[in-house]
Amino acid sequence: MVDHVTPHQGDWQMFIDPANHQSLCERCHNRKTARERAEERRKRNRFRDP
């Protein structure tokens, strides 16, 4: 699978930049993506008002 080294978060230039692409097997891609999404959720929750 083609993976984005740095998550593009909707930035089209980062999405299409070949320097931001890497090849990963499906299992590794899914693990990496899950880790990145969990980290993003943690960051969002850290700044939320109690």
CB 31 within 8 A of CB 15: no
> Model-level pTM?
0.77
pLDDT, position 50: 59
Please, what are the averages of pLDDT over each run of 10 residues along the chain (50 residues)? 94 97 98 95 79
* DSSP-derived secondary structure letter, 4: E
Which long-range contacts does 7-14 make (Cβ < 8 Å, 24+ apart)? 7/36, 7/40
Say whether 23 sits in a helix, a strand or coil.
Answer: strand
Helix %, strand %, coil % for the chain, to 5? 60, 10, 30
